[in-house]
Every structure is written in structure tokens, then in C-alpha cells.
Amino acid sequence: MLLILNGPNLNRLGLREPGVYGSQTIEDLERQCEAWGAELGKAVTCRQSNYEGQLLEWIQEAQEQGFSGIVINPGALTHYSYALRDAISGQPLPVVEVHISNVDAREEFRHRSVTAAVCRGKISGLGFLGYRLGMEYLIDRENGVGA
């Protein structure tokens, strides 16, 4: 079972800067991740919160809740949250960081991720497809394929 986490402001997808993030909503994203999970033979649970503490608790509890990996888009927390970084590094599951937009092509403050170093990898700029690629990596890894 995979956990898909979306952080602050991602509930505003479709309304928020559509030129940057597209016109699809968080519901579209979550339904798409569930459909990809069904196609890839993996149950998927999607959660979104604007609250850092809620995200920390979901990450802390993920293993005991039976998840085998996490795909996370931490939103702006990416750029400054050492608490989120510590929550990721303080638990054993593999985590993939995803950004819908190409953060390296945007403002300077978005170039820095304090969380990517404790994730298996980071996917940025590929839209919703990044979530699927993160899911595929986690599933392959669980099946002993790849790094």
C-alpha cells in the first residue's frame, strides 16, 4: 500500500496559478493516482493537508499503518521545513519527493529543498506524471527491481 501526500496549498490545484500548476484539481490528481495504483496492482491512499504537524504525524505513523512507501509533494515546506525533513529521515519507509512545476526554473528560494536529501529521489517539472513515476519506483524497488 502506497501513501500519497500533498502539502500546503495543493488543495487549491486548478484554482491556484493554473499557468504554473495546470487546470486539474486535487480530486483529479487523487483519482488519477488511484487509477495508476489499480493499473500497477497497488493500493493507494491519498491525503492532503495544509498543516505541517498533520503531515508529520501521517509520515510518523505510515509504517505501522501498513504502508510500504510514500510519494510526497511537500509544497513550500520543501524549502524550509527541518521538521518535515526529520520526520522523513526518522522513519524507515522509502520516500520520493515530487513537484508538479519545475522548481529549478522558478524563484531562487524554490531551488533549495531541505527534504530531498532524505528522500530516495526528487522528480520536478513533469506535472502529475511525477507522482506516477514515484509510485513506479517504489513498486519496482519493493519487487527487487532497480536501486
Q: Which residues are annotated as a binding site?
A: 73, 79, 86, 100-101, 110
- 99 among known catalytic residues: yes
What is the closest distance, in whole angstroms, from the C-beta atom of residue 29 to ligand DQA in the complex?
10
Give the span between the Cα atoms of 15 and 57, in whole angstroms: 27
Query: Which of 100, 116, 119, 135 is in the footprint of ligand DQA by CB under 6 A?
Result: 100
Helices (H), the chain: 18-21, 26-40, 52-61, 82-89, 129-142
Size of the site for ligand DQA (CB under 6 A): 10
If one asks whether residue 103 binds ligand DQA (CB under 6 A), the answer comes out as yes
* Closer residue to ligand DQA in complex, CB, 45/115: 115
Residue whose C-alpha cell is 524554490 = 110
Task: Characterize 116-139 residue by residue with b for buried, 16 or more Cβ atoms within 10 angstroms of its Cβ, and e for exposed.
Answer: bebbbebbbeebbebbbbbbbbbb
Query: Which of 76, 105, 117, 145 is in the footprint of ligand DQA by CB under 6 A?
Result: 76
Give the span between the Cα atoms of 112 and 83, in whole angstroms: 16
Residue whose C-alpha cell is 515530487 = 98
* Closer residue to ligand DQA in complex, CB, 45/101: 101
If one asks whether residue 3 binds ligand DQA (CB under 6 A), the answer comes out as no
What is the closest distance, in whole angstroms, from the C-beta atom of residue 85 to ligand DQA in the complex?
15
Contacts of 18 (CB under 8 A, 6+ apart): none
51, 80, 82, 99: the catalytic one is 99
- Name the residues that contact ligand DQA, by CB under 6 A: 9, 73, 75-76, 78, 99-101, 103, 110
Catalytic (active-site) positions: 21, 99
